[in-house]
Chain A
Amino acid sequence: MTRIRAFAYGVWEFVVGDDPWTALGVVLALSLTAAVAAAGTSAWWVMPPAVLGLLALSVWRAARR
């Protein structure tokens, strides 16, 4: 069990790293894109501002620490 937990923790650290909020933001932005596309409207415009906003927020949070 400890090894499984250690492996899961290692995968989490490797993928998500020290900024889980950015990872969550990426998932939400992709979900919103999928929802807008499923509604039958153009959805390409969702990701660019979401990504730039997530980057700015991530830098701002790290700089304030």
Chain B
Amino acid sequence: MSGADLGLALSVFLACTVEAVEALTIVLAVGTTRNWSSAMSGVGAATLALAAIVAALGPTLTALPIDVLRVAVGGLLLIFGLQWLRKAVLRASGVKALHDELEIFREQAEAARAAGVRRRGFDGYAFTIAFKGVLLEGLEVAFIVLTFGANQHHVALASAAAGVAVLLVIAVGFAARAPLARVPENTMKFAVGVMLSSFGTFWGAEGAGASWPGGDAALLAIVPGILLVALALVWFTRRAVELQAVEGLEAGEGTVAGPGSADAREQAAVRT
């Protein structure tokens, strides 16, 4: 297995674990408060839909000319990766609240209880919420599996890494019968953001006609380079928040201004 293959498998595994943990929280919430069989039917239907998307688009993507594929995949991975990384930097620096599975579980369970009478047979609410939760969380994984897999011509390896992650999360989740709040989701999202941005940079440039010095070995410089800059951004942003807080206190405002004032909007988007 080459370094690029290892990076592919690791990126897909981490991304899939994070998304599977989030989907598991939703399924557990509707399953425990509403109806397990309907929730699991929703999970099954969403899994089939995701498998169909990967099976349909995988061969189409691998049939594209390599340069076209690389520039398209590189661009999309970069757009995706930079979004993941920005949110991870904002969370790590304290501007945005950390992802809290227990809090999300409580909110989902409360919404499920408030949704009306529980049905003994098929429960449309439990089915729909579980289906949407798994499908929406799974779409990001399907996208990563397809782009990474098609570009390396290893859709099977990417699918296997995703499958292992899902099975692991399901096994641990159902053994614990609780949201997996102790999974270091924010750290994992940070790592996935770095990997997606690095591979996006590498493939995008190659697809656009550039040749990297050292070929694939350039990734050994790109990955740590993006990681270091992201960590520096965390440090600078955290310092800016602390300075704003001190200035706010000195001015007698009693509240934190500047980056902290983004809380209302950022908190609303915290579960994205």
The residues of A with any CB-CB pair to B shorter than 8 Å are 14-19, 22-23, 26-27, 29-31, 33-34, 36-38, 42-44, 46-48, 51-52, 54-56, 58-59, 62-65
Residue of A nearest to B264 (CB): A65
B76 CB contacts on chain A under 8 angstroms: 15
- Counting chain A CB atoms within 10 Å of each CB, the highest count among B95, B210, B240, B269 belongs to B210
Q: Which residues of B contact A63 (CB under 8 A)?
A: 90, 93, 95, 237, 240-241, 258-259, 262
| A62, B92: Cα distance in complex, Å | 14
Set B79, B83, B95, B210: member contacting A33, Cβ < 8 A? B210
Q: Name the residue of chain A whose CB is nearest to the CB of B262.
A: A65
Measured as residues with beta carbon below 8 angstroms from the partner, the interface class of chain B is 35 or more
Chain B residues in the interface with A (C-beta under 8 A): 71, 74-76, 78-80, 82-83, 85-86, 89-90, 93, 95, 139, 197, 200-201, 204-205, 207-213, 218, 222, 225-226, 229-230, 233, 237, 240-241, 258-259, 262, 265-266, 269, 272
Contacts of A26 in B (CB 8 A): 75, 78-79, 82, 200, 204
Are A47 and B201 also in contact (CB < 8 A) when A16-B79, A18-B269 are?
Answer: yes
Alpha-carbon distance A19/B269, docked complex (angstroms): 13
A–B pairs, 6, beta carbons within 8 Å? A27-B75, A30-B71, A34-B208, A47-B204, A47-B210, A55-B197
A30 with B208: CB separation less than 8 A: yes
Q: Which chain A residues lie closer than 8 Å to B79 at the CB level?
A: 15-17, 22-23, 26
